[in-house]
Structure 1
Amino acid sequence: MLDLINDFSPGLFFMQALILIILIVLMRKFAWKPILEALNQREDGIANALASAEQAKVEMANLEASNQAAAQEARAQRDEMIKDAREIKEKMIADAAGEAQEKADKIIASAQEAIESEKKAALADIKSQVAELSVSIAEKLTRKELSEKDAQLALIDKMLAEANI
Structure 2
Amino acid sequence: MKKRWTVFFTVLLTVGLPFAAVAASHEHDHGSMNHEKMEGMNHSGMAMTGDMIMLGDDSEEGVKAMAHLKDVQEAMAKMGMAQTHHFMVMFMDAESGKPIEAGTVAVKIKGPSGSEGEPVKLMGMQGHFGADIALAKKGEYKFKLGTKLADGKKRQFEFEFTLK
Is the pair's TM-score, using the shorter chain for normalization, greater than 0.5?
no
TM range (shorter): under 0.3
Higher helix share: 1
Higher strand share: 2
| Structure possessing the higher relative contact order (Cα contacts under 8 Å, 6 or more residues apart) | 2
TM-score by length of structure 1 reads 0.15
